[in-house]
Every structure is written in structure tokens, then in C-alpha cells.
């Protein structure tokens, strides 16, 4: 996509931007084990599974919800559950929280969708957002707290400096950590400067909704980008679990795949939620013919057309 596209759902508002060097700061989170949970999308069954994952750790684990924890939770009771759980842990806002915390900014869902996403899909996202904002209006205090959430967090796990973002190294809704961008040689210089300016060993991101783990060596040892895809939606064809990024001084009992940077384990772990219960809850809020059903039900039931092999760590 060339030039600036101002249509709702296509643009990336200026307020979404931050220079990568602002991530070069003292960590706000220190943990031996950190679960980064991007894209919960209002799935309360997945939320329960994430809390269980953390509880199963041998030592206390920190949780960071890095944005888009709300989305399908237009039902006020579900919204309140997600909000309360997130507030008990570390969080950053995603484009969803940023846009529901304010009245219509003209950015639509703030997704900054790339050109290969259809106009119809963008319009449906804007419609979902409008309904979710209506729910959020019923929680004015929580809405204020969402507006005040930071756009990123810095964590230290063992020796590793971790920059926790929603989109990419420079924008809340950036697509610079999408699997395609990570594998694009023309994007390599941008990545190299993002790591140099932020002094991060690892970026933990989400937003693009498809997972990818990539390892780079820019001359000071391996560094990585771990995009968890979605914690609250299926990520791989034919599979029905969410994915979170686990960063720890100890390896996970059953990781999907992983790597190591700065002596720390960086792994994708499955968020195995009660899929039939979630499907029933989703259908109650978003029946056949609704915007979310049209855009997401197929993925919720069958997973996206994305093979697990495409997410696997490789030196890019």
C-alpha cells in the first residue's frame, strides 16, 4: 500500500506511533517467567485457560496482556470479566482498547489493515468496534483506565530485555512483525535499527493475528521477534487453541516451538480453552448474519488457513 489511506480501519493514527528508542528504558516488569497474551479478543474461556497456564507454573509467573483483550465481548458480563482479569495483571492497550476508550476518532477499528484485507472485512471490523464501544460506555471508569494504559511495556526476564508491544517496534497497530514482513529481506534494515534503538533482545508482539517466531543475528548474538498471533482464537489450520508467548529462565513442559535468546527460553505455548463453550458464547453474542460471525466464525470453528510450519522459528 503506498501513500496514506485515511479510510476508517485502514489508517494508523499518528497517536499510535512511538520511536523505538523509547523502549530503551528501565524495565517495569521483572519476572522469571512471563506469559505474553496478545489478542485474547474477549474470549473468556481462553482467559480461564491462560490463568490456569500461569497457575501450573512451578514458580509464580507474570502475565502481560499486550492488547486487543476486548473484541467479541460485547456482552456486558463478559466485558466486565475480561476487564477485571486484565486489571489484575500487566497490560498494554491495543488498537481495540484505544478506539473503544474514546469516541469515534475516524480511525475505525484502528487496525491499519493492509491492502490484502478486503473492504468488506474492514467494514465489518468497524461495525464490531461500534458495538463494543457501546458496551464500553456502560463502564465509564474502566474506559478511563483503558485510555491510560501504556502502548508498550519493558520487561526483564533473566538476562533478556523484552519489549512488549501490540503491533511493532514503532506503532501500536504496525504490521512490521507480521510473518511476511519478518521474512522480507527489504525489511531487514528496519528490524536491525528497531533492535539497536530499543536495545531489546526480544520483541513480544501480537496484532497481526497470525503467529511467527523469528531469530536474527545483527552482530551481538541472537535476538528474536515472538508474535503470538492470537491467544483467544485458533491460529493454525484444523486446530482450535490460542497461542501465548512464554518467556522464562526455565523451559516449558510442553511448548509448541521455541528458541533461546540471552539465555532465556522463548516459546509458543497453546492456550487450550473449552472450544465448544466458547463457540456457544460467541454465537449468543454474534449470531449468523452478524459482522463478527461473517468475519470470524469460520476461523473460530476450523482455524485459519495457516500451517503451523509457517510460524516455526528460523533464522531470518
The residue (of 27 and 114) whose beta carbon lies closer to Fe ion is 114
Q: Considering the rule CB under 5 A, would residue 68 count as an interface residue with Fe ion?
A: yes
Site pattern 211..250 for Fe ion (x: CB under 5 A): ----------------------------------------
147-155, 206-214, 228-236, 248-256 -> range binding Fe ion (CB under 5 A): 206-214
Q: Considering the rule CB under 5 A, would residue 9 count as an interface residue with Fe ion?
A: no
Q: Considering the rule CB under 5 A, would residue 95 count as an interface residue with Fe ion?
A: yes
Give the Cα separation of 38 and 167 in Å (integer).
Answer: 10
Contact 104, 268 (CB under 8 A): no
3-state secondary structure labels for all residues of 245-282: EEEECCCCCCCCEEEEECCEEEEEEEECCCHHHHHHHH
Contact 202, 261 (CB under 8 A): yes
Q: How far is the CB of 113 from Fe ion (least distance, A)?
A: 10
Q: How far is the CB of 173 from Fe ion (least distance, A)?
A: 6
Q: Considering the rule CB under 5 A, would residue 94 count as an interface residue with Fe ion?
A: yes
Q: How far is the CB of 158 from Fe ion (least distance, A)?
A: 28
Give the Cα separation of 298 and 17 in Å (integer).
Answer: 32
Q: How far is the CB of 32 from Fe ion (least distance, A)?
A: 28
Q: How far is the CB of 57 from Fe ion (least distance, A)?
A: 27
Strand partners, 91: 65
98-106, 188-196, 205-213, 220-228 -> range binding Fe ion (CB under 5 A): 205-213
Q: Is the dihedral of CA 112, 181, 3, 149 positive or negative?
A: positive
Give the Cα separation of 35 and 270 in Å (integer).
Answer: 11
64-72, 112-120, 295-303, 306-314 -> range binding Fe ion (CB under 5 A): 64-72
46-54, 68-76, 97-105, 137-145 -> range binding Fe ion (CB under 5 A): 68-76
Report the residue number whose CB is nearest to Fe ion. Answer: 207
Q: Which three cell numbers stand for residue 278?
A: 466458547
Place of cell 517467567: 33
46-54, 91-99, 211-219, 255-263 -> range binding Fe ion (CB under 5 A): 91-99
| Secondary structure percentages of the chain, helix, strand, coil, to 5 | 35, 20, 45
Residue of 208, 9, 39, 209 lying closest to 121 (CA atoms): 9
Q: Considering the rule CB under 5 A, would residue 108 count as an interface residue with Fe ion?
A: no
CB-CB neighbours of 32 under 10 Å = 17
Place of cell 465489518: 124
Among residues 10, 207, 240, 281, the one that binds Fe ion under rule CB under 5 A: 207
Name the site residues for Fe ion (rule: CB under 5 A): 68, 94-95, 207
Amino acid at each position: 500500500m503506498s501513500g496514506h489511506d485515511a479510510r476508517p480501519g485502514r489508517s494508523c493514527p499518528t497517536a499510535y506511533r512511538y520511536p523505538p528508542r523509547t523502549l530503551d528504558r528501565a524495565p517495569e516488569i521483572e519476572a522469571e517467567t512471563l506469559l505474553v497474551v496478545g489478542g485474547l479478543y474477549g474470549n473468556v474461556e481462553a482467559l480461564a485457560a491462560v490463568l490456569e497456564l500461569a497457575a501450573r507454573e512451578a514458580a509464580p509467573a507474570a502475565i502481560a496482556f499486550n492488547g486487543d483483550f476486548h473484541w467479541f465481548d460485547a456482552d456486558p458480563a463478559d466485558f466486565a470479566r475480561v476487564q477485571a482479569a486484565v486489571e489484575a495483571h500487566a497490560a498494554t492497550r491495543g488498537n481495540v482498547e484505544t478506539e473503544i476508550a474514546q469516541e469515534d476518532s475516524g480511525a475505525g477499528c484502528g487496525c491499519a489493515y493492509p491492502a490484502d484485507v478486503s473492504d468488506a472485512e474492514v467494514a465489518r471490523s468497524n461495525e464490531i468496534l461500534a458495538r463494543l464501544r457501546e458496551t464500553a460506555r456502560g463502564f465509564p471508569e474502566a474506559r478511563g483506565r483503558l485510555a491510560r494504559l501504556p502502548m508498550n511495556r519493558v520487561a526483564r526476564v533473566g538476562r533478556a530485555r523484552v519489549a512488549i508491544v501490540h503491533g511493532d517496534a514503532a506503532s501500536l497497530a504496525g504490521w512490521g512483525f507480521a510473518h511476511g514482513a519478518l521474512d522480507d529481506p527489504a525489511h531487514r534494515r528496519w528490524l536491525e535499527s528497531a533492535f539497536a534503538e530499543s536495545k531489546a533482545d526480544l520483541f513480544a508482539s501480537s496484532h497481526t493475528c497470525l503467529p511467527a517466531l523469528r531469530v536474527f543475528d545483527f552482530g551481538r548474538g541472537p535476538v528474536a521477534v515472538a508474535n503470538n498471533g492470537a491467544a483467544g482464537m485458533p491460529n493454525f489450520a484444523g486446530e482450535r487453541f490460542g497461542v501465548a508467548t512464554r518467556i522464562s529462565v526455565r523451559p516449558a513442559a510442553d511448548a509448541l516451538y521455541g528458541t533461546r535468546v540471552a539465555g532465556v527460553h522463548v516459546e509458543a505455548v497453546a492456550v487450550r480453552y473449552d472450544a465448544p463453550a466458547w463457540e456457544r458464547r460467541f454465537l449468543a453474542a454474534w449470531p449468523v448474519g452478524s459482522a463478527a460471525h461473517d468475519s470470524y466464525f469460520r476461523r473460530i470453528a476450523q482455524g485459519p488457513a495457516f500451517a503451523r510450519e509457517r510460524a516455526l522459528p528460523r533464522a531470518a
